Amino acid sequence: MNPEHGPNPNGVRADPQLVFGISVLVALAISWPGLAGAMRGSADIMTVGVRFLIAVAVVWSALFCVASLIAGFATTSARETDMPGPVGLAEVPGFARSTTANPPLTPPVLELDPAQAAAAAQIAAATETAAG
């Protein structure tokens, strides 16, 4: 298949040999008790062999699906770089852009009511006496 055509134009895809190798190792680990029993003669070799092949098929299918999803997301993220950026504030309706390049930043003025000012003064006085 031509890598420029089809569902995956960047040519990124799951490596089938790697996925199959990993699935055989995982199926071997899953089937090890049965395989050990067959080597000792306590289990039927045909039953253990069929179970091992079924384990390989199931694990390979699952791993290939996961690897294909990962490859698909890698391809999607590569294509998303061609997309335009987020909408700027100038395009938001009702937003007025400032005419100056860098307006000066001024801190907000906090005004306390008289009760809060008196409490703040008491706390400051207590802090000074405790520190001094």
> Domain coordinates of the chain in residue numbers?
16-79
> What is the reported pLDDT for 99?
57
- Residue 2's pLDDT band, with cuts at 50, 70 and 90, is very low
Task: Record the tokens describing residue 17, joined without a space.
Answer: 């040999």
> What is the reported pLDDT for 89?
52
Please determine, for residue 1, whether its predicted confidence score (pLDDT) is greater than 50.
no
Residues 55 and 30: beta-carbon distance below 8 Å: yes
Of 43-47, 66-70, 99-103, least confident by mean pLDDT is 99-103
> What is the reported pLDDT for 100?
58
Dihedral sign from CA coordinates of 13, 16, 20, 22: negative
Q: Which residue has the higher pLDDT, 88 or 73?
A: 73
User: What is the pTM for the complete model shown?
Assistant: 0.49
Average pLDDT over residues 13-34: 91
Q: State how far the Cα of 99 lies from the Cα of 86, in Å rounded to an integer.
A: 22
Q: Rounded to whole angstroms, what are the CA distances from 112 to 76, 79, 118, 128?
A: 54, 54, 9, 21
Please determine, for residue 52, whether its predicted confidence score (pLDDT) is greater than 70.
yes
Residue with tokens 């400032």: 98
> What is the reported pLDDT for 77?
55
Residues 120 and 112: beta-carbon distance below 8 Å: yes
Please determine, for residue 106, whether its predicted confidence score (pLDDT) is greater than 50.
yes
